[in-house]
Amino acid sequence: LRKCLISMDMRHLEKSFQEMKRALQNKDTFQNVTILSTLETLQSTKPTDVCCMTNNLLAFYVDRVFKDHQELDPQILRKVSSIANSFLYIQKTLQECQVQSRCHCSQEATNATRIIHDNYNQLEIRSAAIKSLGELDIFLAWIDKNHQKTSGA
C-alpha cells in the first residue's frame, strides 16, 4: 500500500526545472561529486518509506538549499521561487499524513537522509546549493515514480 500519495500537477515543476537546468548545471563545476544520486537506496525506496523520504528531501530543499542559494538572474529566481513555493505546498499536503502517523521513518530512510546532508556539508555552501538545485530532476523523477497512483489510469 503506497502511503500519503501526493496528487499534484508535477508537470509545472518539471517544466520550471527544464527551463533552468542548463544554467544551473553549467554553474556546477564539480562533476565528480553528487548529492542525491549516489544513493542506490533512493532508487529502491520501500513503499513504506516513501512518505518519510519525501518529507526529509522536501525539508532538505526548503530549509537548506533554497536558503543557501543566492540568485541574481530574475528568470532563474522566478523558477526557483516557483519550485520552492510548490515544495512548501507539498509539505503541507504531507503534514496531513504525518498527523495520521502514516509517515514512519525506517533506519534506512534516516541513514539515506543523513548521507544527503553529509554530501551537502562536504562542499562550500554556495556550490552545495547550486549542485543540489541542479539535481532537482533526480528528486522530481523520484517523486513522479513513487507517488503515482497504483491504478494505471
Residues that bind another protein (CB under 8 A): 7-12, 14-18, 21-22, 25-26, 31-34, 37-38, 43, 62, 66-67, 74, 77-78, 81-82, 84-89, 134, 137-138, 140-141, 144, 148, 152-153
Q: How far is the CB of 135 from another protein (least distance, A)?
A: 8
Residue burial 117-145, b: 16+ Cβ < 10 Å; e: rest: eebbeebeeebbbbbbbbbbbbbbebbee
In this complex, which beta carbon is closest to another protein, that of residue 108 or of residue 137? 137
Residue 13 CB-density burial (10 A; 0-12 exposed, 13-18 middle, 19+ buried)? buried
Q: How far is the CB of 31 from another protein (least distance, A)?
A: 6
> What is the distance between the alpha carbons of residues 78 and 12, in angstroms, rounded to a whole number?
13
Closest C-alpha among 14, 77, 83 to residue 91: 83
Q: How far is the CB of 128 from another protein (least distance, A)?
A: 14
In this complex, which beta carbon is closest to another protein, that of residue 12 or of residue 117? 12
Q: How far is the CB of 2 from another protein (least distance, A)?
A: 12
